[in-house]
Amino acid sequence: MKELKVQFIKNGTVIDHISPGMALKVLKILRVDEKIGSTVSVLMHVPSKMSKWKDVVKIEDRELDPQEVDRIALIAPSATINIIRNFNVVEKHRVSLPDRVREIVRCTNPNCVTNTRGEPVTNEFLVESKDPLRLRCKYCERFVEDIAENIV
């Protein structure tokens, strides 16, 4: 049986245990595009010991900030973040959903106070349910239907 080997990274971040099919959305919310100056590896639909299938993203020379980790938790709640330095895992932790989500998701209600230009109001959502994930706008009470598409 042939195996596909993915190169180790010297420094950076490995996002493991992403829900199958969500790796490209992780890249989108992390704003990884053609302007990035380092290697990005994307593995999709690979066998997993914890679940049947998973996606994995490796980003060289970049460590995620807490807000980026919160964004990942919204679309890949079982993901783990591995910080790599000098080819070694120096930090490993699971993402976790907070009870409130601020400045990460945009309200889909065009009449919400967060979408009007007159008021400088920060987006804030209450996490009504973690499984399945349901976010409710603090101001207009509307639920976000497609969270991945409305991450800012």
Three-state SS string over 26-62 comes to HHHHCCCCCCCCCCEEEEEEEECCCCCEEEEEEEECC
pLDDT of residue 58: 96
| Displacement of CA 15 from its chain's centroid (Å) | 9
For the cut 90, the answer to whether the pLDDT of residue 151 exceeds it is no
**pTM summary value:** 0.82
pLDDT of residue 37: 81
Strands of 19-151 (E only): list them.
40-47, 53-60, 80-85, 88-94, 100-102, 124-130, 133-137
> Where are the CATH 2.30.30.20 domain residues in the chain?
100-150
Q: Which fold has domain 100-150?
A: SH3 type barrels. (2.30.30)
> Where are the CATH 3.30.70.140 domain residues in the chain?
12-94
For the cut 70, the answer to whether the pLDDT of residue 1 exceeds it is no
For the cut 90, the answer to whether the pLDDT of residue 132 exceeds it is no
Tens of pLDDT, residues 44-70: 999 888 779 999 999 999 999 888 998
Domain 12-94 grouped into CATH 3.50.50.60: no
Q: Work out the pLDDT band at 144, boundaries 50, 70, 90.
A: very high
